[in-house]
Amino acid sequence: MGGVVMAMGVASLASSNTYAQDKTRLVIGTTADVVNFNPLVGNSRSDTWVTNLMYPRLMQMTAAGSKDPYVATKWGYSEDGLTAWLEIRDDMTWNDGTPFTADDIVFTITAVTTEKIGVTAGLIPAFVSAKAVSPTRVEFTLSRPDSTFLTNIGFWMPIVPKHAFPEVGSVAAFANDKDWVGVGPFLLKTVEPGQRYVLEAVDNYPIVEGGRAKVDEIEFRVFPDVNAEALALRAGDLDLIANALPAPIAQTLKGQPGITVAQAPSLGWSHVLYNMKRAPLDNVAVRKALAHSVDYEAIRAIAMQGLANSTNSSVISPVLSYWADPSLKEYTYDPELAKSLLTEAGYTDANGDGFFDNLELSLLYEQSAADIANWAQIMKDSSAKSGIKINLVGLERNTYLARGREKDFDIYAGNWAVMEEPAAYLGLAYRTDGFINYASISDPELEKLIDQAQSATTPEAVKVPVQAAAKLIQDQVYDNVLYYQTFQFAYNSDKWDGFVVQPSDLLSLVNPLSLASVKPKD
């Protein structure tokens, strides 16, 4: 890790096309309102899509999950791993004319760690302090070596303006719902909840050639579901669907005149979590029975129409080929084995109705996520063959997210958009105090393995505890990963050209570089 330096020019990312002089607006469909305009607090995709266009990440994601320069130009660690540093561009300015400097980064990371804000706080437990040693260089003091620290803050921590946000201690509570000050390619100007969010291009965005986005305005328009978005795209009332398309809808749009279906690789997965704080899900035998009651092949073939692949029931996707353990095998779909496990655990079917007594569970899912809604029904039906009664509870997205955070569920069906660095995300999702540990997992042996992985200083040293942790999670059924998928998105290719695809449904075609680069067709 000593002396590691990464650098790459970003000028090559820019398009050589000139900005169209006529006023142009790109209309993007979404199925949820923005809940948080504070980018450090926002948790939904709509929150991220809108605020990403104003508050920059320091690095950008590659298809393989690695990080490339963006606002940060190079970075590295000291020989002992206890100091990290990064350098940033010197030509970026907040839209009110204030220079974007290392002080903004120091302010942001201090607020995040002091107030324990969002995902980032859980990803950087080794952070001690930060100092701006020049307007373009930040140095960080770490309590122990952490080879994921810089890439974690580089991608997961949007930078906010020190001069426009309140003092540290009040940042998380800051609504940031008016008078926005940004340094991205666009600035929010119009908010109509339930209807639209309109952003206008700024005149100083040096990351793209010409220093300005090629389109004048971006409108995120709210639709009730993806079906309504697809109808609007066909009718010419919508230019791009931001939500990942369910396989059946993608199939109907393929071949339609003027519509292109683009693909983006996934760095996350779809899964179900079992609430460890609720009986009988605190019993590993019950969790194993549930795992053997899922018809995984049917989910991938029918609900996902072949656009999904097995992760071998591992929390490390095969996409991350270096980290994945090829010896792990997927839970078998075996209703008879599930019944045997439940019988051994003391469950009976006294009334002979085909279901075990006192074993009725609810499964929460987001009702606008059509793929999940489809496979939730398959899961309900296949579990019934094991004598397990599951009731489906479809919720509006923000209510669904709140129930997850509050751990108010039996079984939670969902997906993680980006899980690219196992040593980092294992702590986030499976530590007792992990920010997204919705299942309330608390396992000292698992935490010891995560600690070992996070403090290791070479990939080889990280790999052993990471794979051991993944095997323990599988053995204990702390998470049941169903598949990783290829995401599909549709846009009007008669009108628009120049989108830049990035991995995951969080970035896809609506990442800042893409929306600053897209242009009307001649």
Sketch the domain layout of the chain as residue ranges: 269-485
CATH no. of 269-485: 3.10.105.10
Could you tell me the pTM of the whole model?
A: 0.78
Q: How far apart are CA 325 and CA 304, in angstroms?
A: 24
Closest listed residue to residue 54, CA positions, set 194, 129, 161, 169: 161
Give Cα 348 to chain centroid, integer Å: 41
Least confident of 6-20, 79-93, 135-149, 496-510: 6-20
Give the whole-number percent of the chain exceeding pLDDT 70.
Answer: 96
pLDDT recorded at residue 489:
97
Bridge pairing between strands 67-69 and 59-61: antiparallel
Phi, psi of 437 (to 5 degrees): -80, 70
- pLDDT tens track for 64-113: 777 899 999 999 999 999 999 999 999 999 999 999 999 999 999 999 99
Own/partner contacts of 494-497, CB < 8 Å, gap of 24 or more, are 494/257, 494/258, 494/521, 495/239, 495/258, 495/520, 495/521, 496/26, 496/239, 496/240, 496/520, 496/521, 497/521
Interval 276-332: pLDDT, tens? 999 999 999 999 999 999 999 999 999 988 889 999 999 998 888 889 999 999 999
The three-class DSSP label of residue 432 is: coil
